Amino acid sequence: MRKTISFLFLLALCSTRCFAVEGMWLPQLLQALNEKDMKKAGMKISAADIYSINKSSLKDAIVSLGGFCTAEVISDKGLILTNHHCGFDAIQNHSSLTSNYIKDGFWAYNKDQELTNPGLTASFVIRIEEVTKAVLEGVTAAMNERERQSQADKNINGLKSTAKKEAWQDILIRPMFDGNKYFLFVTETYKDVRLVGAPPAAIGNFGKDTDNWMWPRHTGDFSMFRIYMGKDGRPAEYAADNVPYQPKRALKISLRGLKPGDFTMVMGFPGRTNEYLYSKAVQQIMDVLDPAKIGIREKALHILDGFMRRDEGIKIQYAAKYASIENAYKKWKGEVLGLKSKDAVGRKKAVESAFEKIVLSKSEQNIGYVNLLKNLEQAYTAIEPYAYARDYYNEISQKIEVFAIASQLSNLPRAIQKNGEGAFPALLAQAQAAADAFFKEYNATVDQKLMEVLMAMYVKDQPAANVSPYYKNLLAQHDNDHAKVAAALFSQSRLISPERVKTLLQGDAKTVSAAIMNDPALQLAADMQQAYLTNAGTKLAELQTNLNRLQRTYMQAQMDVFSSKTFYPDANSTLRLTYGNVKPYTPRDGVQYDCYTYLDGVMEKYKPGDYEFDVPAKLIELYNKKDFGAYGANGRQPVCFIASNHTTGGNSGSPALDANGNLVGLNFDRVWEGTMSDINYDPDICRNIMVDIRYVLFIVDKFAGAKNLIAEMTIVK
């Protein structure tokens, strides 16, 4: 920082670090922006070893798995490693009562035993280029947002058709820095991805919801797949005679382990962050939006938990739903906690006052920014009630499950209206299939209780004008008693059991369409949606358009005004690299957490027969014999570790690499106190959690005996 700026601003931007820990960097810019800093942090390789278009580099081993997780290539036969929770759908789909791979794990001891997963894809990034000029060609300041977008879309389409690529490759163009810059990605997507291995959930998801988002952690959160390609070496749809993918690069594995202070980096596809918000936006998330969502989920989880504890069948049916509702719920709670404890709003305000000072002192250059903060303040104040209505409506309507099947079945009358009755038999089959899938994980008693409790919140916690008139009417008819409304609706609706749906789907196209549209559950869902759109949604969209423009200006303004700071774009599911050090942390006064956990900790948490903390007998046996093979360290088996890498959702399954670029771990979570890193990264308490590669290989080798897989890997001494 050569500029003479306020002490507070220095404090806000630089914190305690000697190199920049915060950041999710674009790999093609590492050489220009980060290489020096990374070497200072301990990196031994060069930026060109990570990203190069002239030779194979680490980026060639990084996979976007299905667009929702990251994976990495670990053998020259296309073997890839990701998290257990990333592979969970595939594992679940192949599971049955007789071969329960969730409970028992799954291992392919030869390629014939691998299992296909239609729809699962693996994508590589071939090349990244900045295309801002071409995308914004013809865009003028006088254009409104819609005009700007349509001009940009036209340019993007042009670029997509002219950019250099092979026939089997794709072009993606993504806005960065809130639309101030654009980058082009040439990608290659493989569509034959087979399941190779997964530990039992008692290892892969050890600690479940209780340990989720927490440190110390003892989860072996990994699974393995293999990418296949056509015989011509190109991406291909599934075919029995496809051959294992030959990668440009497979990661080498180091069993040396890291120690506190060691350099580490994580490469992957982080989903979404908001690091450049105005203070009022942060305060809104912390005080209004997160608490609203937390409150709704708390009630929903409480209901589910009650039923799941009483009924084993419901427990199985609702396990995945519960985990997914709980995952975001717990994250938001940690986020609020961290934003408060680190005074994120105060810090943003300090940055804003420094911003204001510089803007006013150099008003000719920054004339356009003079009223910016005031406008942001106004825009966020104006949008607050509408944003709250959006979150309230979304959360509640998504938790009442019958609304989901109502929405799916409403496709049938809509499609018939649009395309005529010819498609009726096909639509009927589709509707039946949707219902079959839905009822596998559905219990009407649970859902009726959800409706009763959540609709009471829907009415109580919102202005009366936002409430659906249809529901108000039902309430008036039933003594203002939500329980009676829910009971009446569930006794009348034909969407709440497979038997009733069967009768609903009987008759000709007109009869079936009318029966669906007139169902009271569908009527309620539709009216709630209408009430939301009329009273909030439409206005919200208009305010949001204005805010997007302001936020884009504010992003550019921050880059102009703080010109000596190096900026990274918010995460948007594109390939990024983040680096830091293995590092302990102090979540609160008097408490310090270590960097590593060991198998001893698994045994400390062990509760025989428990849903979350049971341990497989074979693992106990290996532990008692201390049979850790090459994977132990000083007589103990390392399990997980933490570092200061800046990660988010989507980074799950990302490789943790050491200073030489060797694989040392697998990213899967963050610590609870630091989940606010999506909004305000703090080097003191933000840590990513990784499973040590030595635990992964110990399980593959010693627990599962899958030496065939170990033999494929390259382990560096």
Task: Rule CB under 6 A: say whether 652 interacts with ligand ARG.
Answer: yes
510 contacts 567 by C-beta, under 8 angstroms: no
Supply the minimum distance, in Å, between the C-beta of residue 613 and ligand ARG.
Answer: 12
From residue 284, give the alpha-carbon distance in Å to each of 200, 459, 682. 41, 22, 19
* Residue 181 interacting partner from ligand ARG, ligand ASP, none (CB closer than 5 to 8 Å by kind): none
* Residue 117 interacting partner from ligand ASP, ligand ARG, none (CB closer than 5 to 8 Å by kind): none
**Among 57, 60, 85, 678, which one carries the catalytic annotation?**
85
Q: Based on CB atoms, which residue is closest to ligand ASP, 318 or 668?
A: 668
CA distance 331 to 391: 16
Task: Rule CB under 6 A: say whether 649 interacts with ligand ARG.
Answer: yes
Judged by CB under 6 A, the residue of 64, 117, 205, 662 near ligand ARG is 205
Supply the minimum distance, in Å, between the C-beta of residue 86 and ligand ARG.
Answer: 8
Supply the minimum distance, in Å, between the C-beta of residue 665 and ligand ASP.
Answer: 14
For the question of residue 60 being annotated catalytic, the response is no
Judged by CB under 6 A, the residue of 293, 646, 670, 694 near ligand ASP is 670
CB-count exposure of residue 669 (10 Å: 0-12, 13-18, 19+): buried
Choices 124-132, 282-290, 537-545, 668-676; region in contact with ligand ASP by CB under 6 A: 668-676
Residues 6+ apart with CB under 8 A from 66: 119, 120, 121, 122
Site of tokens 């570092």: 643
- Strand 253-254 relative to strand 715-716, pairing: parallel
Q: Based on CB atoms, which residue is closest to ligand ARG, 323 or 415?
A: 323
The size of the interface with ligand ASP (CB under 6 A), counted in residues, is 9
647 contacts 670 by C-beta, under 8 angstroms: yes
For the question of residue 652 being annotated catalytic, the response is yes
Q: For Cα atoms 442, 446, 449, give the angle at the middle one, nearest 5 degrees.
A: 140
Supply the minimum distance, in Å, between the C-beta of residue 549 and ligand ASP.
Answer: 29
Map residue 20 onto helix, strand or coil. Answer: coil
Beta bridge partners of 243: 229
Which of these, 654, 676, 684, lies nearest to 275 by C-alpha position?
A: 676
611 contacts 602 by C-beta, under 8 angstroms: no
* Residue 212 interacting partner from ligand ARG, ligand ASP, none (CB closer than 5 to 8 Å by kind): ligand ARG
Q: Two tokens at 305?
A: 């938990």
CA distance 474 to 477: 5
- H or E element that contains 623: helix 617-625
Binding string, residues 633-652; x marks residues near ligand ASP by CB under 6 A: --------------xxxxxx
* Residue 205 interacting partner from ligand ARG, ligand ASP, none (CB closer than 5 to 8 Å by kind): ligand ARG
Binding string, residues 54-93; x marks residues near ligand ARG by CB under 6 A: -------------------------------x--------
Task: Rule CB under 6 A: say whether 669 interacts with ligand ASP.
Answer: yes
**Among 75, 397, 652, 654, which one carries the catalytic annotation?**
652
Please identify the residue of the shown chain whose CB is closest to the bound ligand ASP.
652
Q: Based on CB atoms, which residue is closest to ligand ASP, 322 or 393?
A: 322
Supply the minimum distance, in Å, between the C-beta of residue 315 and ligand ASP.
Answer: 23
Residue 248 has phi, psi (to 5 degrees) of: -70, -25
Choices 156-164, 207-215, 428-436, 576-584; region in contact with ligand ARG by CB under 6 A: 207-215
Site of tokens 């049979």: 627
Task: Rule CB under 6 A: say whether 262 interacts with ligand ASP.
Answer: no
**CB neighbour burial string for 530-556, b if at least 16 within 10 angstroms, e if fewer:** ebbeebbbebbeebbebbebbbbbbbb
- H or E element that contains 597: strand 596-598
Judged by CB under 6 A, the residue of 151, 327, 353, 548 near ligand ARG is 327
Judged by CB under 6 A, the residue of 22, 290, 401, 669 near ligand ARG is 669
Residues that bind ligand ARG (CB under 6 A): 85, 205, 208-209, 212-213, 323, 327, 649, 652, 669
The residues annotated as belonging to the active site are 85, 221, 652
